[in-house]
Amino acid sequence: IGSLVLMMLSLLVAIGGQYWYYDYMTDIPGAEDAWTDGCKDSSSRYPRCREYAATERVSFAAACFFAFMAMLSGFMPPIHDHGWDIKVISYIGFLITTIWIPNSVVDNHGYVWFARVGSFGMIVLQQVILVDFAYTLNEKLLALAGDTVDEMSSWLYALLGLCFTNFAVSITGIVLMFLYYTDGCDDSTTFVSLALIFIVILTVLQLTSDPEHGHNLLVTSVVSAYITYLTYVGVSSNPNGSCNPNYSEDETAVSVILGLGITFISICGTVYFSSRSMTNLLDGDVEQGKRSQLNAVLTGGATSNPVNAQSAPASLNSSGDPNTGAAADADTAQDAAGAAAYQASWGAAMNDGGHAMKFNIAMMLIAMYWCMVLTDWGNVDRSSSGASPTNGKIAMWMNITASWICVLLYGWTLVAPRIFPDRDFS
């Protein structure tokens, strides 16, 4: 919870810096040279370069913080959920010091390139998570349906209903995009047409697949709906107002606040869901027992070690001190048992540093990702407005690329069993 709150507050500070307080940074003693580095008032990139510099500094601080926490958590996992007073103070201190860091450290000459790579990695992981989620959902519904006596159970009806809904949403979305986003725009027309073609190809591949692997039409419907969504996000990020009815250059207070509010909420949702799903994906085959022990320590619910819990009271009660009463013996024994249990649980957590470390790695990638979303992947030459803060050519292409990656990943799961029939793809 602490990490998510810190991330969302960082996002809020970044948005505030990009759209409000960025121009006051040069008034801070000693900071003028840092903020005007490659971004003079007379520059053609001003004020965009200075706006982005504010967001990039916050993202840089957050990414460094979570990278450092990932290293610490790898060696000492319990620290992941403890010492938040020191963590917050340290993070705020580091964030303040970035005020005096030159722009070249965080812009296209430095951090932004690392953020681009990390963000692209996160996009790939998101597609893997989506495909895995679709297969898992299909398997669970089929398993629930298989446990019933009726030939057509309510779970099968639910599965068919989800399939129909997803395909209906996909078709409706594509039709609406053809109507409102493709008028005289070759790139948007191409993107929407390819989305429709990919959906048809994936559906045909699924229906003609080997029955032994199952006709998982629900998976295809989920992937189709997601491809439609990513295509919509892509074409609605087009900064060409004639191709994008959502684009607005009207920077009134209401439109800017509304645009930034929607952006903040959507990115916060991405932060929350991605942090959980990416951590589970990176965890892989960590033993459930070891993870439960780790979570017990991180949440303060230490589990006791029966051997230590029994032996500690016995040794203390045999002290033979005539001045020690029964109540004192009981309290001392309880304290010793608690200490022994905590040490045992701490030791169990120390043996598995993977979960906390991977969570912090996911948070580091997310910190890079929202920076790229807000800055059109570090493109200071983009055309956008406060009312449409996430619009830009690069943002459009990245969302379209994400949909194509999803097509390739899911398509591979359908084609691979045919190409390599001797391998087990279950």
pLDDT tens digits for range 269-279: 777 777 767 76
In a structure prediction context, what are the per-residue pLDDT tens digits for the chain, which is 426 residues long? 788 889 989 999 998 888 888 888 888 998 989 998 888 877 777 888 888 999 999 999 999 999 999 999 888 888 887 888 999 999 999 999 999 999 999 988 899 999 999 999 888 888 888 888 888 888 888 888 776 545 667 888 888 899 999 999 999 999 999 999 988 788 999 999 999 999 999 999 998 877 665 567 889 999 999 999 999 989 988 887 778 777 655 554 555 566 667 767 777 777 777 776 776 666 654 444 433 333 433 334 444 444 444 444 444 444 445 454 555 555 555 555 555 544 544 444 444 557 788 888 989 999 999 899 888 888 887 655 555 566 778 888 998 999 999 999 999 988 888 888 777 655
Residues 334 and 412 in one domain: no
Q: What is the pLDDT of residue 174?
A: 96
Give the gyration radius of the chain's Cα atoms.
Answer: 27
Residues 183 and 121 in one domain: yes
In a domain, 167, yes or no: yes
In a domain, 278, yes or no: no
In a domain, 75, yes or no: no
Residues 122 and 189 in one domain: yes
User: Tokens in use for 390?
Assistant: 């996430």
Q: Distance of CA 362 to CAs 289, 303, 343, 398, Å? A: 22, 28, 29, 19
Residues 235 and 316 in one domain: no
In a domain, 232, yes or no: yes
Residues 242 and 301 in one domain: no
In a domain, 405, yes or no: yes
User: Tokens in use for 259?
Assistant: 């645009």
CA of residue 225 relative to chain centroid, distance: 20
CB contact set of 385 (below 8 Å; sequence gap of 6+): 247, 248, 249, 250, 251, 259, 391
Residues 221 and 128 in one domain: yes
Bond prior to 47 in cis (omega within 30° of 0): yes
Q: What is the pLDDT of residue 214?
A: 58
In a domain, 86, yes or no: no
- Expressed as residue numbers, the domain containing 412 is 116-247+391-426
User: Tokens in use for 319?
Assistant: 């002290």
Among 303, 321, 338, the domain-final residue is 338
Tally of domains within the chain = 2
Residues 121 and 241 in one domain: yes
Q: Distance of CA 373 to CAs 181, 265, 281, 285, 396, Å? A: 21, 13, 23, 32, 10
3-class state of residue 316 by DSSP: helix
Q: What is the pLDDT of residue 410?
A: 92
Of 210, 233, 207, give the one whose Cα is nearest residue 220. Answer: 207
Residues 313 and 204 in one domain: no
Residues 172 and 238 in one domain: yes
Residues 333 and 422 in one domain: no
In a domain, 48, yes or no: no
In a domain, 311, yes or no: yes
In which element (H, E) is residue 339 found?
helix 326-350
Q: Give the C-alpha separation, 199 to 191, whole Å.
A: 12
3-class state of residue 323 by DSSP: coil
Q: What is the pLDDT of residue 49?
A: 87
CB contact set of 276 (below 8 Å; sequence gap of 6+): none
- The sign of the CA dihedral 122, 126, 129, 131 is negative
Q: Give the tens place of pLDDT for each residue, 149-198.
A: 456 678 888 888 999 999 999 999 999 999 999 887 889 999 999 999 99
pTM of the predicted model as reported, rounded to 2 decimal places:
0.73
Residues 397 and 319 in one domain: no
